[in-house]
Chain A
């Protein structure tokens, strides 16, 4: 309602009639709007900014998206920071896994293990992600990504489609484990007692020193600021890992392995190797060279891969080389939607690198 504008464009002839209207409006406004400042927001203005979503579904737009589409958008727009399976890459936030860790020494708080409401995922991705290009996703893309994040947290299966209709049916595993601040009841009485002033204890010993941990700003840690408490442990890990690696790769061509490690970056969006490797978009790739194809436990292979496995395919260096050069040419219908390794010289390195993840 633009009464200020109206007033300034009054014609002399219309002044009496308009004044009556303005007077009526202003007395009405005066009673309720004490200062009569600002103007009323237009519906399209409210719609442009009011994008928030609540646990009861208020604010959800009409739309839908499935896990498969979500994965495609994810790989394109999210995986570079959060990892292909939302497992986090580097120090970027981990969004999947961690179920059952909340009471442990190293809780992993993810959408699956921690977040109480699905609406929070929709709202946050929609308002703030991808980092650096906020509010660029379509509603259906946000539904699809939300579906994908549910899938990567094992909350739904890969056939799942999320929409405004079934949104409230999804149950988040950790919903019931939050309760309102009770410090006033639990802590205030405990800590509101007379303080001792003299001879309060008999002996005092230093039990912990920051100098021992020595986490100078240059130290390469592994945590988000809020999660930094866990860093005491994180700083100790690299030494142990390095030791293991030395033992394992003793018989390998280290130069090739190093080259392969670089080339493996093209695979990392789908495959994991090493100690904590899990199946992601692709199977984990420990013990792959020289072993039967299609045999990683718990991974759902494509029909053609299963057939090849039943037919006795073994990942010899030759077979592997052929597969990696042109996966879909080598095996029509494979789930490995990867264009193939472009540079032939990378193949040897990749194979050597994969060999370094063989348990003995």
Chain B
């Protein structure tokens, strides 16, 4: 764990890949192998013997060779694992969808195990009719499907003062991107009939933290979803089963899990998570509040400290993800020389509003040191700033909303490290 974290020990999969490369082609290019590859010449058990039947794995799990692909926490960050966070292994993923079991977790009172039969959703406050819905009621409203990223406002928060954690899982892993199925919140609010003075909502969770956030009515009626499925299956308990709020493009803390109540009011509540937390302390000691939108951001996921280059020089793939709470990502630039020259990366996969985007940059690595960065452009024309540009505006104490450009230093051995550059 320690070694893998420092980026010196390749993952098991990378090791296997490396071994194959050594056995297959030590020379550069497609030259002939010196010896026959036992992966080809020797019979493997799976070539010969039968595997398990269809009754063996009623809920399928990843291959045992992928056991290292997992969420990780950083114990020193919090007093206790119950009010804490773990991180999505971005360096082990591709495409844009986060598998349900790898979606990072942040909860404030542990994972609530809610029985859907005993779960109710209440709408109260400034409405014509205060209503109660069962899960069954909820399923009778028209549903929609949307892919959205959810990023914790504190993602990269440990990096405000400088490069700290070696691995994009830790620097950028408080994010996931899944397809939600749910009912537009607007429909539930219309069902209750919002009074004209109703300008804010207060969604509340059923967990032991009783999580609450104030959300302006405009957003509530725009694109918020009351979701019960993620990537086609029921929400995972740690993601709010049986029902959570989806607040596209806005900081993850507002996406109330285990949603049980929505109050309508004429002003915000200024609860703990929008005063003590999730306000951005600036250099002058004053603080921004209601910083809901997630600014455009990107990170190179491979190579990165936990995913070094193990194949040596030659054809090399750089890949990463980008997203913006204000729209889509039409373009990402990549530099391999620390920002002297930039190259437009190749975007691949669907480009959806407030969803993750995948980019690639392939090049012929000459084996020299690399300083890798990516820079996202979003559909509003906003360009991801450097960390120093952000610090110039916000100081060092903001904690939240660090969307600065990430730098990985890759040495000639392919080992990658989290650094900052001039």
* CB of B408, distance to nearest CB on chain A (Å): 10
Q: Which of B76, B261, B338, B399 has the most A CB atoms < 10 Å from its CB?
A: B76
Interface size class of A (residues with CB under 8 A): 35 or more
Closest to B343 in A: A197
What per-residue 1/0 map shows which CB atoms of A181-206 lie under 8 Å from chain B? 11100111011110111111101111
- B400 and A40 contact, CB distance less than 8 A: no
Contact of A211 among B141, B166, B204, B267 (CB under 8 A): B166
Contact of A226 among B154, B263, B284 (CB under 8 A): B154
Closest to A124 in B: B272
**Complex CA–CA separation, A120 to B77 (angstroms):** 25
Instruction: Answer yes or no: A287 CB below 8 A from chain B CBs.
Output: no
- B77 and A225 contact, CB distance less than 8 A: yes
Q: Which of A39, A41, A182, A196 has the most B CB atoms < 10 Å from its CB?
A: A41
Residues of A within 8 A of B193 (CB): 32-33
Count how many chain B residues have C-beta atoms less than 8 Å from C-beta atoms of the other chain: 111
**Complex CA–CA separation, A97 to B12 (angstroms):** 48
Tell me the residues in window 52-88 of chain B with beta carbons closer than 8 Å to chain A beta carbons.
72-80, 82-85
Closest to B398 in A: A229
- A50 and B5 contact, CB distance less than 8 A: no
Instruction: Answer yes or no: B19 CB below 8 A from chain A CBs.
Output: no
Closest to A125 in B: B272
* CB of B91, distance to nearest CB on chain A (Å): 15
- A210 and B165 contact, CB distance less than 8 A: yes
Instruction: Answer yes or no: B137 CB below 8 A from chain A CBs.
Output: yes
Given contacts A124-B272, A191-B383, A229-B158, contact A50 B164 (CB under 8 A): no
Residues of B within 8 A of A107 (CB): 281, 285, 397
Instruction: Answer yes or no: A218 CB below 8 A from chain B CBs.
Output: yes
Instruction: Answer yes or no: B116 CB below 8 A from chain A CBs.
Output: no
> Among the listed stretches A108-116, A274-282, A312-320, which one makes contact with chain B, having 4 or more residues with CB under 8 Å of it?
A108-116
What per-residue 1/0 map shows which CB atoms of A163-197 lie under 8 Å from chain B? 00000000000000111111100111011110111
What per-residue 1/0 map shows which CB atoms of B163-194 lie under 8 Å from chain A? 11110000000000000000000010011110
- A211 and B382 contact, CB distance less than 8 A: no
Residues of A within 8 A of B72 (CB): 217
Given contacts A35-B191, A206-B420, A215-B164, contact A179 B337 (CB under 8 A): no
**Complex CA–CA separation, A223 to B288 (angstroms):** 22
Closest to A29 in B: B129
Query: Between A and B, how many residue pairs show CB distances below 8 Å?
Result: 302
- A229 and B157 contact, CB distance less than 8 A: yes
Instruction: Answer yes or no: A297 CB below 8 A from chain B CBs.
Output: no
**Complex CA–CA separation, A102 to B279 (angstroms):** 13
Residues of A within 8 A of B202 (CB): 52
- B383 and A217 contact, CB distance less than 8 A: no
* CB of A217, distance to nearest CB on chain B (Å): 5
- B122 and A46 contact, CB distance less than 8 A: yes
> Among the listed stretches B208-216, B230-238, B313-321, which one makes contact with chain A, having 4 or more residues with CB under 8 Å of it?
B208-216
Please give me the 9 A-B residue pairs with the lowest Cβ-Cβ distance, nearest first. Answer: A103-B285, A204-B338, A221-B76, A210-B418, A102-B285, A91-B79, A127-B210, A124-B272, A210-B163
Binding site for B on A (CB under 8 A): 32-35, 37-41, 45-46, 49-50, 52-56, 58, 81, 90-93, 102-103, 105, 107, 109, 111, 114-117, 119-120, 123-124, 127-128, 131-132, 134-135, 177-183, 186-188, 190-193, 195-201, 203-211, 213-232
Binding site for A on B (CB under 8 A): 1-2, 5-6, 72-80, 82-85, 108-109, 122-125, 128-134, 137, 140-141, 154, 157-166, 187, 190-193, 202, 204, 208-210, 212, 260-261, 263, 265, 267, 269-272, 275-277, 279, 281, 283-293, 295, 305, 333, 337-342, 371, 375, 377, 380-385, 389, 393, 396-397, 399-400, 409, 417-422
